Amino acid sequence: MAALTEEINRRRTFAIISHPDAGKTTLTEKLLLFGGAIHIAGAVKSNKIKKTATSDWMEIEKQRGISVATSVMGFNYKDYKINILDTPGHQDFAEDTYRTLTAVDSVIIVVDVAKGVEMQTRKLMEVCRMRNTPVIIFVNKLDREGRDPFEILDELEAELKIAVRPLSWPINIGAKFKGVYNIYEHSLDLFTPSKQTISSRVEIDDVNDARIDENVGETDAAKLREDLELIEGVYPEFDVNEYLSGKLAPVFFGSALNMFGVKELLDCFVEIAPTPRPVNAQEREIKPEEDAFSGFVFKIHANMDPNHRSCIAFVKICSGKFERNANYKHVRSGKMMRFAAPTAFMAQKKNIVDEAYPGDIVGIPDTGNFKIGDTLTSGEELHFKGLPSFSPEMFKYIENTDPMKSKQLDKGIQQLMDEGVAQLFVNQFNGRKLIGTVGQLQFEVIQYRLLHEYGAQCRWEPLSLYKACWIESEDAEALAAFKKRKHQFMAVDRDGRDVFLADSNYVLQMAQSDFPKIKFHFTSEF
């Protein structure tokens, strides 16, 4: 029991979220560098280093320079075991990110110093607020021209609706950037632009220390002291409990590309970030230190290895100890299963693991048994909640362009839908398959992956629909009457549930008022 508690206390599981281009993947890579998990920092966009970022490994991601699937990476740093989930910043993949946020205990938000808070960041922060997830903010790209740090702090408070407290402070920015004063550890970190080495550090007891003047010059030293005095006057003392309850966000400044300010962030993070927290199931609250194992599937990824048509289900461990080859219950099907080759990830490199603890993410080879939201336990009937599919907003018919490859196309569609990238509906009127997504880019990704991973070609036929919503009713006659009246607009989802395809907001509102006994749902959890 003591061993279990000790393992839980070592774990830090968090997601890095941001708007595209704020430098999230670069930051992830630098954190891995400190953990000794990779040994060369490949600048993601540089053509000289052909080794692209470790966390973006899907072909389409390399071409576009964006992350579209959440990567999971684990490494050890000091005495801690750190699990990072690098999420897609692109808004078309927001749903993948929302689900990922259900599997982490805290979040690091990356903000570009020039652009400030952007829409996508605001939306993701709302999800963190709903769950009271603790947040640390990293203001990135200080070696480029950007906005005044005080202005950025004001904007963070206003836009993200959270109190902030700087724990490091920049000395100039852009071309004149000289470094950062670490308020949390009282040290001065001097900036030397380099992608491979860590900058030099001067330990200082007091902000009036003359060594600051020697290192950055009198003018900048005077401004730094003025700024720090202002910070102490305006912002409350840093309180760890306020941070843990999701009310206060510590802020760090740096440049991820130049490896600067990242170690300060990491050192503070491992000290203050929460250990794995209790998780709510429909039946009860599950505490990490319970003896019995439990976990849930928050993501499914097809084709981690294009040579083998395999899917992998990512399981977040919530309680107890997971062991290889032990028998666990798959709650939805009621079957007992054992896993001979569970894996842990270092981006695309997988290692087989014998055991894993709460907070860890384990990959389980999946031959079609799992769905997002499935629960595995030592035997107890538990259902984790909070992994919704949202009702899609864009729709297209998917048509096979090569009749000889219809099997491959069907298999590809099934596996990609298991990942939750998009949703598949079958129109009951004409029997055609429709795909619904939350963004345009997903259609491109699906088409690309069907061709390159399954050898199946498809074409899209546009379809103008407003929303797909799940319907149910306790009155069987009312349901039958609705389906008869709307038979051209009825479809079923993969679980055989009735879905109404409304072609405009007006039609949807009319249907809601004409059929008061029908319930309309806009997420798949009801």
| pLDDT tens series, the chain, 526 aa | 678 888 889 999 888 888 777 777 788 878 877 766 554 434 333 333 334 454 554 555 555 544 444 467 788 888 888 888 876 655 545 566 677 778 888 999 999 888 888 877 887 787 788 778 899 999 988 888 888 888 999 999 998 889 999 888 888 777 777 778 777 777 777 776 555 555 566 666 666 666 777 777 777 778 888 888 888 888 888 889 999 988 899 999 888 887 788 888 888 899 999 999 888 888 888 888 888 999 988 887 765 555 555 677 888 899 989 998 889 999 888 889 888 888 876 644 667 888 889 988 888 887 778 887 888 988 888 887 655 566 677 899 998 888 888 888 888 888 777 776 688 899 988 889 999 887 777 788 788 888 887 888 889 998 888 888 888 888 989 899 999 898 888 999 888 888 999 888 898 888 988 898 888 887 766 4
Separation CA 427–CA 436 (nearest Å): 12
Domain boundaries 279-377, corresponding CATH code = 3.40.50.300
Strands (E), 358-408: 361-366, 375-377, 394-400
Contact 419, 302 (CB under 8 A): yes
By three-state DSSP, how is residue 516 classified? coil
Residue 47, pLDDT score:
35
**What pTM was computed for the model?**
0.73
State how far the alpha carbon of 340 is from the alpha carbons of 323, 343, 441, 452, in Å. Answer: 10, 10, 36, 29
Decide if 14-93+104-272 and 279-377 have a common fold.
yes
Task: Kindly compute the dihedral angle of the four CA atoms of residues 495, 101, 333, 450, in this order, to the nearest 10 degrees.
Answer: 50
CA 237 to chain centre: 30
DSSP labels, 456-495: --EEEEE---SEEEEEE-S-HHHHHHHHHHTGGGEEE-TT
Residue 521, pLDDT score:
83
Strands (E), 19-118: 71-77, 80-86, 106-112
Domain boundaries 14-93+104-272, corresponding CATH code = 3.40.50.300
Of the candidates 416, 425, 420, 417, the one whose C-alpha atom is nearest the C-alpha of residue 502 is 425
Q: What CATH class does 394-521 carry?
A: alpha beta
Residue 52, pLDDT score:
45
DSSP labels, 403-456: GGGHHHHHHHHHHHHHTTSSEEEEETTT--EEEEESSTHHHHHHHHHHHHHH--
Residue 135, pLDDT score:
93
Domain positions in the chain are: 14-93+104-272, 279-377, 394-521
The structure tokens 């008022």 sit at 513
What angle do the packed helices 218-234 and 149-160 form, to 10 degrees? 30
The structure tokens 């009937």 sit at 381
Residue 174, pLDDT score:
73
